[in-house]
């Protein structure tokens, strides 16, 4: 195979030559550029991406939550598990044998960009990335959570470059209650930073975030055991799980990345009427971060360009990552529907 390595494509565009049958083959790259950010002016940034699938296939961008990254699924080049394992796979709507799947690390994800980052900035970064890769137009943009917000901005700011949008569990603006929840997570980080317990604070923030990502139904089923008194302190059944979730997150997330991307969700505000790309909005009933009513508001604002799919899941905001079969069915349907100029 003739894949460029990440090092080889760094700083310059290397045309890709991918065998037609190499559906799972992939290439990574990164390059430096300067972006003008909405809240912080011109800043040097590095853009990092991974592209998997046939070179001649239509390109679909897949963008996830603030903890997601460019590696969506294991492939022949990069064997580690990705964050959308099971959704990007043979036989799925996002099958690398028939589509080229592009994913990228969000601006700020490396912790090196310690300024307010807007979802508009992410959309502009993607446009620069597409130029870099010689991709004129996307067959689709599938965004989940934060990725859905970025997709909305991309549809507004780079209208001519995308045929359809699937926006899962992300509204045109954050709900004030969810924004307050995130603000308190950021305060937990700040408390940790007071005296060199930065990772402790980040862990606590992540644990609070987990409560917003999941549902009481799931906790009710999993953590039904009676509390224990350990060393004179009460310890409830979910604490082992929360400890593990916090520790795992701290091990892979720079504090500044967490803070700036969390803020970025709260900065997001777009006018749905400004989106004129066919858009499938997917809502999860029971999502405690993104209420169904807000996604109904988004669809109403989209007018003729919007349609709504609702699913109920005990996984709440995390349903996209957990309800693989049901999400895949929704994506398959979305890609069967003709996009504009598809």
Q: Which residues contact 240 (CB under 8 A, 6 or more apart)?
A: none
By C-beta, is 115 or 308 nearer to its own copies?
115
List, by residue number, the catalytic residues.
Answer: 145, 287, 317
What is the edge-to-edge ordering of all strands in the sheet holding 165-168? 26-37, 41-52, 100-104, 59-63, 140-144, 165-168, 279-285, 306-312
Instruction: Closer to its own copies by CB, 287 or 328: give it.
Output: 287
Judged by beta carbon, residue 195 or residue 341, the one nearer its own copies is: 195
Please report how close the Cβ of residue 295 comes to its own copies at its closest, in angstroms: 14
- Comparison of 160 and 194: residue with beta carbon closer to its own copies: 194
Q: How far apart are CA 35 and CA 84, in angstroms?
A: 28
Q: How far is the CB of 242 from its own copies (least distance, A)?
A: 6
Q: 327 with 319: CB under 8 angstroms?
A: yes
CB of 194 to its own copies, least distance (A): 5
Which of 100, 84, 89 minimizes the C-alpha distance to 143? 84
The residue ranges that bind its own copies (CB under 8 A) are: 39, 115-116, 175-184, 187-188, 191-192, 194-197, 200-201, 204, 207-208, 211, 215-216, 219-220, 222-224, 226-227, 229, 232-239, 242, 263, 266-267, 269, 291
Do the beta carbons of residue 12 and residue 132 sit within 8 Å? Answer: no
Q: How far is the CB of 326 from its own copies (least distance, A)?
A: 23
Nearer to its own copies, 159 or 269 (CB): 269
* 63 contact partners, CB below 8 Å, separation of at least 6: 103, 104, 106, 141, 142, 143, 144, 146, 147, 148, 150, 151
CA separation for the pair 122, 118 (Å, rounded): 7
For the bound state, the minimum distance from the C-beta of residue 236 to its own copies, rounded and expressed in Å, comes to 4
Tokens 């991974």 correspond to 50
Q: What are phi and psi of 80, to 5 degrees?
A: -65, 155
Is residue 279 classed as helix, strand or coil in its secondary structure? strand
Token reading at 11: 């700083």
What is the C-alpha to C-alpha distance for residues 27 and 1, in angstroms, rounded to an integer?
A: 11
- At closest approach, how far in Å is the CB of 180 from its own copies? 4
**160/229 with CB nearer its own copies:** 229
10 Å CB burial of residue 35 (0-12, 13-18, 19+) is buried
């Amino acid at each position: 195979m003739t894949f460029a390595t990440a090092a080889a494509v760094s700083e310059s565009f290397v045309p890709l030559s991918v065998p037609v049958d190499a559906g799972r083959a992939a290439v990574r790259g990164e390059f430096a550029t300067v972006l003008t950010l909405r809240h912080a002016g011109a800043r040097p940034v590095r853009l990092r991406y991974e592209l998997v699938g046939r070179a001649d296939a239509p390109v679909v961008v897949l963008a996830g939550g603030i903890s997601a990254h460019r590696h969506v699924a294991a492939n022949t080049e990069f064997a580690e598990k990705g964050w959308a394992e099971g959704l990007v796979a043979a036989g799925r709507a996002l099958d690398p044998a028939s589509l080229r799947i592009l994913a990228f690390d969000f601006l700020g994800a490396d912790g090196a960009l310690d300024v307010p980052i807007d979802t508009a900035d992410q959309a502009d970064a993607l446009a620069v990335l597409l130029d870099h890769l010689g991709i004129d137009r996307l067959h689709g943009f599938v965004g989940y959570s934060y990725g859905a917000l970025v997709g909305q901005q991309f549809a507004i700011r780079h209208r001519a470059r995308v045929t359809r949008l699937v926006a899962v569990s992300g509204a045109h603006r954050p709900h004030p209650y969810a924004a307050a929840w995130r603000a308190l997570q950021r305060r937990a980080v700040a408390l940790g930073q007071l005296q060199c317990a930065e990772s402790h604070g980040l862990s606590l923030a992540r644990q609070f975030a987990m409560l917003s990502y999941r549902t009481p139904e799931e906790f009710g089923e999993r953590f039904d055991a009676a509390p224990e008194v350990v060393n004179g302190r009460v310890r409830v059944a979910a604490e082992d799980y929360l400890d593990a979730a916090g520790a795992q997150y701290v091990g892979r997330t720079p504090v500044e990345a967490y803070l700036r991307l969390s803020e970025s969700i709260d900065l997001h505000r777009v006018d749905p009427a400004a989106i004129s790309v066919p858009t499938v909005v997917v809502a999860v009933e029971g999502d405690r971060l993104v209420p169904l009513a807000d996604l109904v508001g988004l669809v109403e604002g989209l007018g003729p360009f919007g349609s709504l799919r609702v699913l109920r899941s005990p996984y709440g905001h995390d349903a996209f990552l957990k309800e693989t079969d049901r999400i895949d069915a929704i994506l398959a349907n979305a890609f069967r529907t003709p996009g504009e100029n598809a």
